[in-house]
Amino acid sequence: MLRERYLNLIILAILVIIPLWAWVSDEPFTITLVTRAVILALAGVGLNLALGQGGLVSFGHAAYFGIGGYAMGILASHAQNYDPIIEVPFLIEGTNSMPIIWLVAVIAGALSALVIGALSLRTTGVYFIMVTLAFGQMLYYFAISWPAYGGEDGLSIYVRNQFPGVNTLDPMQFFVVCFVILCVVLFLVDRINKSPFGLALDGAHQQEERVQTVGINVYRLRLVAFVISGAITALAGALFADLNRFVSPVMFSWHFSGEIIVFIILGGVARLFGPVVGACLFILLEHILGDLSDYWHIYLGAILLFVVLFAKGGILGFLSKKEVPHAG
Amino acid sequence: MPDSVLHVEDIHKSFGALKASDGISLDLYPGEIHALIGPNGAGKSTLIKQIAGGLKPDAGRVRFLGRDVTGLTTAQRAHAGLGRTFQISALAMQFTVLQNVVLGAVGQSGLVFRFFRNAMKDEALVSRAREALRRVGLAELENSITAELSHGQRRQLEVAVALTLSPKAFLMDEPMAGMGAEGSRVLTDFLQELKKEAPILLVEHDMDAVFALADRISVLVYGKIIATGSVDQIRADAQVREAYLGEEEEEAL
């Protein structure tokens, strides 16, 4: 366990050193690339709580990513047009304050995960995968056909939103904001994994009947995990929208749901830093292999196959020589 | 007669044409071990599931401590004080022994939705868990991975998890299965002590254990209880001999 902890610290260090180096040598593109990796990692950390710890294979987490993105897009577009969102019965105006946008994104993500989770958690196994996928697709087509916020074309936001005391348009400063959020969320998720809640969630993943027999309502347990998971992924969505200053229905697409799953499998299912490693590797491959060929996903597929067949605990499991991570 | 702790009242359950429970009634009184025996396919597991939750009877009720629990879920019945062990160990196999028992303590505490406290460092939970392990004799193995335990040790662990709940009654499905003679005897002694705390409804195949342990025995055949009585009464019952105990076991009697 100690070894994996060291590995995690090394990963965090790399995530700091690369942008610092890029900052010193004036390579803003690299900083943006790492920022992207950090945000995608955050989305993966969200899904990992449900998929890894809870064993709930959600194939529709793009829904929360998209909801977080649109929370940002809607609030910021109203703010930049000086056009209130609603006037009756009371006035709600748009905003370009990041903390408020994050809060709205987290709440919207949690509420939608509550509704979607309450329905999908009545099923298990492959049906659960399909039901979550179906909800994701519903939101995708809804976003496409909703003209008020750009429909298929999406929404452009011209200025990055504000965070008190930070120049968010500076790539390095925006990176620091995202990185700090990732660290805070990792810390919280680590605490959750080790808590009575995390123990019960993990236990229910291994042996559902056991957890019921000690008097714990497994459905409620999983629903709460699903809600936290959706909220984290929605927060990542809001940051991703801010990074690109653009939101579109693509954020809702099932390809993205699949990609987050790939991050987790690459890095190591149920491992705290699994999605972080996976997302970084994904961005790295996209950048390097994407230069060589438009069909770089073929190589990604080959690597994924290799990891699944030969490194069961993902890359982290392979490096730390420990197959099953459990709080303890 | 004192009030029964667990009262099963005219339970019916059919799967298609098969009547798995055909009007079963039985009582569990304070301080007793009530053994349920019957040939394979007699409907023992079906009955246990209806008592523990997870399977709803077509008709009839289950009363526990005077309260109708027929409509309650497994988790709610566990909270009401029904401690259950499984025929096929239902443990979190990748957890350590201690983690499994702490999970029981978490359920008992009712404080599942605590997100920021380390469960394995919580004094109240861990000491409760260790006490249960000590009682079943697994204290030294607390850091072993559950999957690495022998069958007998898993059985002991099942009992330990049930103990963390401080149940008002135990429901044990073949706790001796897969145990060696030594382990079987230790557990038999332990159950004799345990029944003073809470009565035990015991499903068991091991006849020696049943006859040594049980205060009363009910014999289930084809979804019906054909006899209930003391060990001697059951041994002497002609119907039971014919239906269940059969030729080869007659010598053992």
pLDDT of residue A140: 97
Phi-psi region of A217 (alpha: psi -120 to 50; beta: other; left: phi over 0): beta
8 Å CB contact between A23 and A31: yes
Mean pLDDT of A231-254: 97
Interchain contact, A213 vs B84, CB within 8 Å: yes
Residue A237's nearest CA partner among A84, A94, A109 is A109
Smallest CA-to-CA distance from A162 within A86, A79, A233 is with: A79
User: Rg of chain A's alpha carbons, rounded to an integer?
Assistant: 19
Q: Do B64 and B188 sit in the same domain of this protein?
A: yes
Mutual angle of helices A125-144 and A98-120, in 10-degree steps:
130
Query: Is A196 close to B99, i.e. CB distance below 8 A?
Result: no
CA of B90 to nearest chain A CA: how many angstroms apart?
Answer: 6
Please give the structure tokens belonging to residue A300.
């990604």
Residue B154 lies in a domain: yes
Q: What is the ipTM of this complex?
A: 0.90
Domain shared by B162 and B174, yes or no: no
DSSP characters over A18-47: HHHHHHHTT-HHHHHHHHHHHHHHHHHHHH
Minimal CA separation from A119 to chain B, in Å: 19
| CB proximity under 8 Å: B 61-90 to A | 73-76, 78-79, 84, 86, 90
Residue B222 lies in a domain: yes
For testing the chain B interface, which of A199, A202, A220, A232 should be mutated: the one with the most B CBs within 10 Å?
A: A199
Q: Do residues A92 and A228 make contact, with C-beta atoms less than 8 angstroms apart?
A: no
CA distance B7 to B3: 9
Please give the pLDDT value at position A328.
44
Residue B107 touches chain A, beta carbons under 8 Å: yes
Q: How many pairs of residues across A and B have Cβ atoms under 8 Å apart?
A: 119
Indicate whether B198 and B220 sit together in one domain: yes
Gap from A271 CA to chain B (nearest CA, Å): 14
What average pLDDT does this structure show over B121-136? Answer: 96
| Chain A residues within 8 A of B164 when measuring between CB atoms | 214
pLDDT tens-place string over residues A63-96: 999 999 999 999 999 999 888 888 878 888 889 9
The answer on pLDDT for A166 being more than 70 is: yes
Chain A positions touching B51 (Cβ under 8 A) are none
Q: Which of A185-189, A269-273, B184-188 is least confident?
A: B184-188
Which pair of structure tokens corresponds to residue A2? 């100690």
Tens digits of residue pLDDT in B32-44: 999 999 888 888 9
Domain limits at B171? 1-81+167-253
Q: B67 and B185: one domain?
A: yes
Mean pLDDT, chain B, as a whole number? 90
Do residues B124 and B243 share a domain? Answer: no
**CA-based torsion, B72, B76, B79, B84: positive or negative:** positive
DSSP code of residue A92: B
Beta-sheet pairing, B200-203 with B169-173: parallel
- Cβ of B165 within 8 Å of Cβ of A214? The answer is yes
The number of folded domains in chain B is: 2
- Candidate from A191, A197, A328 with C-beta closest to B99: A328
- Single out the residue of B170, B112, B106 nearest to residue B136, CA to CA: B170
List, in order, residues 6 or more apart from A269 with CB less than 8 Å away: A48, A51, A52, A313, A314
Q: Which residues of A56-74 are buried (b: 16+ CB within 10 A; e: fewer)?
A: bbbbbbbbbbbbbbbbbbb
* Higher pLDDT among residues A147 and B240, named by residue: A147
- Whether the CB-CB separation of A314 and A52 falls below 8 Å is answered with no
Q: Say how far apart CA A295 and CA A300 lie, in whole Å.
A: 9
* B161 and B185 together in one domain: no
Q: B86 in a domain, yes or no?
A: no
What length does chain B have?
A: 253
Q: pLDDT tens digit string along A277-322?
A: 999 999 999 999 888 888 888 889 999 999 989 888 899 988 887 6
Q: Which of B166, B189, B208 corresponds to the end of one domain?
A: B166
User: Mutual orientation of helices A28-48 and A2-24 as an angle, nearest 10°?
Assistant: 150
3-state secondary structure A156-220: ECCCCCEECCECCCCHHHHHHHHHHHHHHHHHHHHHHHHCHHHHHHHHHHHCHHHHHHCCCCHHH
Q: Which residues of B219-238 are buried (b: 16+ CB within 10 A; e: fewer)?
A: bbbebbbbbbeebeebeebe
Across the interface, whether the CB atoms of B91 and A207 are under 8 A apart is answered yes
Q: Which positions in chain B touch A203 (Cβ < 8 Å)?
A: 92, 95, 99-100, 103
Of A191, A210, A324, the CB nearest to B115: A191
Mean pLDDT of B135-146: 94
If asked whether residues B65 and B171 sit together in one domain, one would say: yes
**One-letter identity of residue B135:** R
The letter for the amino acid at B221 is V
What is the mean predicted confidence (pLDDT) over B115-122? 94
Residue A250 CA to residue B121 CA, distance in Å, equals 44
Cβ distance A277 to A11 under 8 Å? yes
| Residue A209, CA distances (Å) to A52, A119, A194, A199 in order | 19, 21, 21, 14
Enumerate residues 6+ apart whose C-beta is below 8 A from A207: B90, B91, B92, B93
Q: Which has the closest alpha carbon to A70: A188, A297, A238, A230?
A: A238
pLDDT at B109: 93
A92/chain B closest Cα distance in angstroms: 33
Residues B189 and B246 reside in one and the same domain? yes
User: How far is residue B173 from each of residues A176, B88, B90, B103, measured CA to CA in Å?
Assistant: 57, 9, 11, 20
Residues in A closer than 8 angstroms to B90, CB to CB, are 207, 209-210, 213
How many angstroms separate the CA of residue B121 from the nearest CA in chain A? 9
């123990």: which residue's tokens?
Answer: A199
Q: What is the mean pLDDT of residues B138-163?
A: 93
A210 with B165: Cβ contact below 8 A: no
Beta carbons of A326 and B95 less than 8 Å apart: yes
Name A151's Cβ contacts closer than 8 Å, sequence gap at least 6: A143, A144, A145, A249
| pLDDT score recorded for residue A2 | 60
Residue B109 counted as domain residue: yes
Span A203-236, pLDDT tens digits: 999 999 999 999 999 999 999 999 999 999 999 9
The per-residue pLDDT of chain A, averaged, comes to 93
A229: CB partners within 8 A, 6+ apart: A46, A47, A48, A49, A50, A54, A58, A61, A64, A113
Residue of A nearest to B79 (CA): A215
What local confidence, expressed as pLDDT, does residue A295 receive? 87
Nearest to B74 among A188, A213, A328 (CB): A213
Mark whether B185 and B160 lie in a shared domain. no
The alpha carbon of residue B204 is apart from the nearest alpha carbon of chain A, in Å, by 20
Regarding whether B171 and B155 lie in a shared domain, the answer is no
Measured distance CA(B120)–CA(B140) in Å, rounded = 17
The answer to whether residues B171 and B155 belong to one domain is no
Indicate yes or no: CB of B122 within 8 angstroms of CB of A191.
no
Distance from CA of B252 to the nearest CA of A (A): 36
Distance between B220 CA and the closest CA of chain A, angstroms: 25
pLDDT band at B100 (very low <50, low <70, confident <90, very high): very high
Residue at a domain's end among B142, B166, B190 = B166
Residue A121 and residue A127 in contact, taking contact as beta carbons nearer than 8 Å? no
Model confidence at B247, pLDDT cuts 50, 70, 90, reads very low
Inter-chain CB proximity A326 and B119 less than 8 Å:
no
Instruction: Please report which helix (H) or strand (E) contains residue B59, including its range.
Output: strand B59-64
At which of B106, B138, B166 does a domain end? B166
CB contact under 8 A, A207 and B93: yes
* Same-domain status, B50 and B101: no
The CATH number linked to B215 is 3.40.50.300
Residue B251 is predicted with a pLDDT of: 47
- Over its C-alpha atoms, chain B yields an Rg (Å, rounded) of 18
The partner residue sitting opposite B92, judged by closest CB among A195, A206, A216, is: A206
* pLDDT given at position A121: 97
> How does pLDDT run across A123-138, given as a tens digit for each residue?
999 999 999 999 999 9
